[in-house]
Structures are given as structure tokens and as C-alpha cells.
Amino acid sequence: MNKEMPLTGAQSVAHAMRQINPDVVAAFPITPQTDIMMNFAKFHSDGKVDTELVRVESEHSAMSCCVGASAAGARAMTATASAGLALMWEILGVASGSRLPIAMAVVNRALSSPINIHCDHSDSMGCRDHGWIQIYNETNQEAYESVFLAVKLAEKVMLPCMICLDGFITSHGVQNVTLHDDKQMKGFVRDYEPKKWLLNTDDPHTVGPLELQDYYFETQKQRADAMIQAKEEYLKIGKELARITGNEYPLFEEYQMDDAEAVVIVMNSTAGNTKAVIDKMRKDGKKVGLLKPRLFRPFPYKEIAEALKHKKYTAVLDRSESYGANAPLYAEIKSALYEADSKPKLKSYIFGLGGRNILEPDIEKVYDELLSGKFDHLETGYIGLRGE
Amino acid sequence: MNYKQLVNKPQKLAPGHRSCAGCGFPPIVRTVLASTDSPIVASCATGCLEVTTTIYPFTSWKIPFIHSAFENSAATISGVEAAYKALKRSGKIPKDKEIKFVAFGGDGGTFDIGLQSLSGALERGHDFVYVLYDNEAYMNTGIQRSSGTPMGASTTTAPAGKVHQGKEEWKKDMAKIAVAHNIPYVAQASVHNPIDLSMKAEKAFSTKGPAFLIVFQPCQTGWKYPMEKTMEIAKLAVESKFWPLYEVENGKYKLNYKPSKNVPIEEYLKPQGRYKHLFRPDNKQIIEKIQQHVNEEWEKLVNLCRD
């Protein structure tokens, strides 16, 4: 039976994990992810899951444990944030390179240094080229449902998948979340049935071999192909999930885009603030819209270019820097538009690093700037930065 | 197990791998794997063992095998073992099917970069055997010093020169570190004595919970001696008391072998090129220091075994 209840994003993810009842979960605390594992551990202690919960001594071992478990034939999950994700970095590549469908919630948080516990996307952006599917989530509901989608998608294309949600904002903010029926969700993910698994000792195989010049390149091409395939599979599995949840799982969400002249592109929780700004500005007759990417890896270049082709002005709001280069989301959007016959004037903004608030007037200012047509599209804008 | 039984066991590590002639780890791996008749899954740290046995599309492993990275052989097998428990519970693996788990690592991957992962896995009590093949340096990358390198040995990152005479610190006592985790079984063995090694591996596999084996493994490339002398050098290490064979069962120490005559440490050091510089007259005191250290450590061990 469906149940609507006030939950934090962390609790929502933990509930998804409870319903999935993974075979193995590796847990290590890191702010602001910890609440996911604390909630899941309670489910475990209360016997609501019969997961093998491994309380590892580091995130490096958390991912290593998931690699071992997944290769062994188990459905394996974990969650992390910030420095924890950075510590996993090497093993993230092992997971995707070994084609292991591990699912992991990433509660986005700034990276050191200086140390900061609040939200930005520098952690997951830092590993965007590591062969993990990345799904970004605006609300607690999205984060909850994405966990199911991620598990199924990962197992379909044999690539690991991260479910990204904003640290404290989403992970600790309470929203009403509809928890779908346990049985239905279990039925949706079904059991994991690997083709090759280490614990099938009658059919021994070697995982993680040495590949030299003669094979390594081909393996990487296969990994790249699987990632491309993930886009279609995401849509297919999303449609299947939509039949249960009634929600949609597009590559990106479009809000008031039909006649929009000025478009803001932003991921995760900030998209919510942007929608509020749009509602307000639309009342004043301003043609503003939002494009919210959900699937960041693989990146839907063609589809986004199509969605933006007749727009006049577009601003890309990145919650992470790429020092000495275009900001990550901006770089992708710019790249998507290169082949388009008609394209908007594009501007990059950086916002919210280390949890710096972004308020509705800040976003309104961006739209006003776009609509005025008087902006230097070559210069990066910084929203809410002192001294600007 | 006697020699005849041992050699007649099914070979779980196939020949044709690419380790150096005279390398010690193939007999170590074969002996360890032969010491259980249960199905067995192995994990391995990055290193000589991994890269010489798994060159795609070939593999020497006739058992399920996983290599993940350099520093996480123990954490990886933790995951495999956790999966075993979970899949047994869910019925995907028959309730009566017993599978054993073994993690292999060299000294660098165990004493140094993998110490945390190993410590975590031992503390959590996973039911597995960790086998450290100790060749006393980072051999796979070209004989660099590890914390398992003994004092006085010349390596490429602690070479003997005009001012420094090789490694200047003592070898880390890995067995003690393992014992300090209060795990049920820890043992030191050597490649030249497969019966002792096999007895220890059998015990390790039959122990519920983590077991830790350190196996002495001379490396002809890194230690610079003729390739046919591996077993002889390993034996000299034991006879000279440099490498005592002992085990610690539930905290209780037991000496497995007491050399019948005193073999001075020079006899062990001399055939090895990595100690060549110690035999210069001006380095005599280093050999004396090593001898003194060996004597002291042996005394301490004997006392522990007496308690």
C-alpha cells in the first residue's frame, strides 16, 4: 500500500534500500550521508531487511567490499559524500571497469580544502568520467524513486550507478514523500541474476585481470558503449517505473519551456527554487523556463540541443568549479549546442559552493539579466559571491 | 598432509603463468590452495602474483578469483564473504555448501598500503584466510623498500651508497600486528617447508573467523641470488633464526621449529646480493647489529612460546 509521510531525503533513500533489501550493504559514516546508513542500520537491527551489513573502516573499503560482493553475485549498495567519494575514486573505476552494477547514493557535498560540510557538486562532478551512471535528484521523492531506477538500470547495462542528492538541503530537509507499496517495488527490481558470479564455484572465472596493449583498449570501448546504451535503458526502465509511481523519468525535466525565451539550466534542489521564481515571473508575463538535467552520465547531448534550439537566452548554473576550465554542466551544454543550427546565447554561472545559499531573488536576477539581452556571455557569473 | 598427498592434490593454480624462474609464490599458492578440499574463492592484491597469473585472455586460476586493487585484497574478500552469507540466507547458495575464502597480498600490499583494509577485515571477523607472501620489498615495481624490508638490505629506493647502507629501519613485525587483533589464528611459515605451511593453511581454513599466514618468500630478482637457490635461502632464514616458524592459536604462541645448531646470520646474508655491501669491512657493525637483533627477537619469541 502506498503511504505518504514526511521524510528527509536520507530517510527516503533508506526506505528505498529497505524495500530493495540488497544482499550486501557496506556502510561508513560521512556527513551528510550518515543519516542514510543510520536509518538503514535501524531497519537492519529491527529485522526489516536481511541484508549483510558490513560496517567497513573506510569508504575505500566500502567500495572495495561492494566490488567483492557484486562480483560474488550479490546485489550490493552503499552511500557516500564528498571526501568519502574522493577516497573511493580508484575503486569507482574498478567497479565500472569490472562491469559491476553497484548502486550508491551520493549526498553531494563540497570537497576539501578548506573543509566544508555543505552542499555543492564538486564530489560527483569530480568522478564524472569514471564510468558511473549519474542520476541527479531535485526532491526527496525523486531521490527515493531513483534508487529503484538506478538498481535496475545498473544491472541492465552492467555499470554502476550513483543517485545524487543535495547535502543537507535534500538529505536533511523534510518533505512529504509517497512510499510506494513494498511488494510492488520489490517486484519492480526483482532479484539480481548475474551471468557470471564468483560464488558459482563450479564455473570459476577471473575478475579484474591484467590487460595489456592487446586487450585494454577494447574493454574500454565496451564500457563506453554500455554507457551510451544506458540512456535508452534509463528511459525504458523509467517508463516501467512510471506505471507504479505515476511519475515521469525523463532525461531532463522541462518546466515552462514551450514558449520560454530565457532558460535556466540547473540540477538538483536548486531546480525547485527556480520553479518558484518561474511561477512568479510568469505572472508578470515574462517568458522564463527551466531545463533540469536528471541523467548526467550518460549525457543526453542531442536531446538537450533539440530542447534549446529555439531559445533566445540560456544560463547554466553550476554548483561546482572546474578550475581553469568551463564549469562541468556548462561545458556539457555548450558542447551539446555546438552542432545545433540555431542556438541560444549562453552564459555560465557558478553558485552555491560550500553550501552558500541561493535565494529566489538571485535566480530572478539571472533571468532578468538574460531577458535584458545585455550580458557578457564569455564571462562567468558568480551568484551570491561577496564583493560581486 | 605428507608430501605425497600434497603433490597429488588437484592443481588450482595452473602452470604457464609468467612469474620469474625460481619465484617462491607459485609453490606457496599451490600449497595453500591444496590445503582445503572445499571450493575456494581467492582475492589478490595488485602485485607480482596478480600480474603474472592473470594476463588476459589467460588465467592460471582454476578457482574463482578476483583482483580489485593494490590495497584492498582484504576488503574485497570481505565483500565476497558477506555475499556468501547473504546468498546462503536467501537460498541462492545451498545451505550445506561450504566455500572457503582466501586473500593474497605481498608485503607492500599488506604491511603498507593495504594495512588498513586488512585491519578492518580482521577486526570485523570475516571468515577468511589472509596469506601474505613476504618477499620483503615492492618487487613488482622494481625492488623498492617496503616496511617489510629488513634492516641493511639494499633496495632501489633505499640503495646502499657512500653514506647510507640500504634500509636503516627494522622490518615491521606484521605477525604481532595481526595477533593484536585477537584473531583465532596467526602463523609464520616459509616456502621451503611445504608440510609446515600446509599444516598451517589447513588450520587456517578450518578456523572459524579470520586467520593470517605470513609466508617467507625469497625473490631471486630482488634479493639477487641464483634462481635455483630460493628454497636454500628460505631454509637459511629459518635455520639462522631470522625467520622463526611459529603459530599463535587463540593468543597462545607455539614454536614449530627449533634449529638444532647455531647458524650465524652471515650465512643467510652472504648469498644475497642485496646484502653485499654489508660485507665491506667498514659495515661489519651492521651485521653485528642484525645478529644481535635476531638473537633478541628469538629470545622474546621463545619466552612467549614458553608462557
Closest B-chain CA to A27: B79
Find the CB nearest B66 among A60, A90, A208: A208
Residues of A in contact with B80 (CB under 8 A): 68-69, 71-72, 198-199
Q: Which residues pair with A207 in a beta bridge?
A: B66
Asked if A342 and A310 touch (Cβ cutoff 8 Å), the reply is yes
Closest A-chain CA to B91: A23
Q: What is the mean pLDDT of chain A?
A: 97
Q: Does A68 touch chain B (CB under 8 A)?
A: yes
Of B80, B117, B87, B86, the closest CA to residue B101 belongs to: B80
Question: Min CA distance, B291 vs chain A (Å)?
Answer: 38
The pLDDT assigned to A1 comes to 83
Residues of A in contact with B11 (CB under 8 A): none
Q: Which helix (H) or strand (E) holds A308?
A: helix A301-308
Q: What is the pLDDT of residues A250-282, one digit of tens each?
A: 999 999 999 999 999 999 999 999 999 999 999
Task: Please say whether the dihedral angle defined by the alpha carbons of residues B266, B271, B272 and B276, taken in this order, is positive or negative.
Answer: positive
State pTM to two decimals.
Answer: 0.98
Q: Which residues pair with A350 in a beta bridge?
A: A318, A382
Q: Does B59 touch chain A (CB under 8 A)?
A: yes
Q: What is the pLDDT of residues A66-114, one digit of tens each?
A: 999 999 999 999 999 999 999 999 999 999 999 999 999 999 999 999 9
Closest A-chain CA to B52: A210
Closest A-chain CA to B60: A206
Identify each DSSP E strand in A301-361 by its residue range.
313-318, 345-351
ipTM above 0.90, yes or no: yes
Residues of A in contact with B57 (CB under 8 A): 215
User: What is the percent of chain B with per-residue pLDDT over 70, rounded to a whole number?
Assistant: 100
Half-sphere exposure at residue A351, Cβ-oriented, CA atoms within 13 angstroms: 27
A199–B78 C-beta distance less than 8 A: no
Question: Min CA distance, A70 vs chain B (Å)?
Answer: 8
pLDDT (mean) for B21-30: 97
Answer whether residue A184 shows pLDDT above 60.
yes
Q: Does B184 touch chain A (CB under 8 A)?
A: no
Dist CA B221 CA B216 (whole Å): 15
SS3 B53: helix
Q: Which of A197, A210, A211, A212 to mutate to test the interface with B (most CBs of B within 10 A)?
A: A210
Q: What is the pLDDT of residues A280-330, one digit of tens each?
A: 999 999 999 999 999 999 999 999 999 999 999 999 999 999 999 999 999
Residues of B in contact with A218 (CB under 8 A): none
Residues of B in contact with A78 (CB under 8 A): none
Query: What are the grid coordinates assigned to A279, written together?
Result: 511561477
Q: What is the mean pLDDT of chain B?
A: 97
User: What is the percent of chain A with per-residue pLDDT over 90, rounded to a whole number?
Assistant: 98
Backbone torsions φ then ψ of A354, nearest 5 degrees: 65, 25
Q: What is the pLDDT of residues B49-106, one digit of tens each?
A: 999 999 999 999 999 999 999 999 999 999 999 999 999 999 999 999 999 999 999 9
Q: Does A87 touch chain B (CB under 8 A)?
A: no
Q: Does B78 touch chain A (CB under 8 A)?
A: yes
Q: Does B31 touch chain A (CB under 8 A)?
A: no
B71–A60 C-beta distance less than 8 A: yes
A91–B86 C-beta distance less than 8 A: no
Residues of B in contact with A220 (CB under 8 A): none
pLDDT (mean) for A30-55: 98
Backbone torsions φ then ψ of A221, nearest 5 degrees: -65, -40
A–B CB contacts, 8 A cutoff, strictly below? 172
The pLDDT assigned to B282 comes to 96
Q: What is the pLDDT of residues B253-295, one digit of tens each?
A: 999 999 999 999 999 999 999 999 999 999 999 999 999 999 9
Q: Does B56 touch chain A (CB under 8 A)?
A: yes
The pLDDT assigned to B24 comes to 96
SS3 A135: strand
Dist CA B198 CA B204 (whole Å): 10
Find the CB nearest B87 among A23, A55, A208: A23
Closest A-chain CA to B48: A210
The pLDDT assigned to B252 comes to 97
Q: Which residues pair with B304 in a beta bridge?
A: none
pLDDT (mean) for A179-194: 97
Q: Which helix (H) or strand (E) holds A216?
A: helix A216-245
Closest B-chain CA to A196: B64
Q: What is the pLDDT of residues B139-193, one digit of tens each?
A: 999 999 999 999 999 999 999 999 999 999 999 999 999 999 999 999 999 999 9
Find the CB nearest B56 among A23, A51, A211: A211
Q: Which of B67, B72, B104, B113 to mutate to test the interface with A (most CBs of A within 10 A)?
A: B72
The pLDDT assigned to A149 comes to 98
A74–B86 C-beta distance less than 8 A: yes
SS3 B13: strand
Residues of A in contact with B66 (CB under 8 A): 67-68, 71-72, 198, 206-208
The pLDDT assigned to A196 comes to 96
Amino acid at A259: D
Question: Min CA distance, A147 vs chain B (Å)?
Answer: 20
A56–B54 C-beta distance less than 8 A: no
Residue B197: alpha-carbon gap to chain centroid: 10
Within 144-163 of B, beta carbons closer than 8 Å to A belong to none
Find the CB nearest A67 among B76, B81, B119: B76
The pLDDT assigned to B1 comes to 84
Answer whether residue A388 shows pLDDT above 70.
no
How many other C-beta atoms can be found within 10 angstroms of the C-beta atom of residue B177?
Answer: 17
The pLDDT assigned to A387 comes to 81
B41–A67 C-beta distance less than 8 A: no
Answer whether residue B3 shows pLDDT above 80.
yes
Answer whether residue B245 shows pLDDT above 70.
yes
Q: Does A108 touch chain B (CB under 8 A)?
A: no
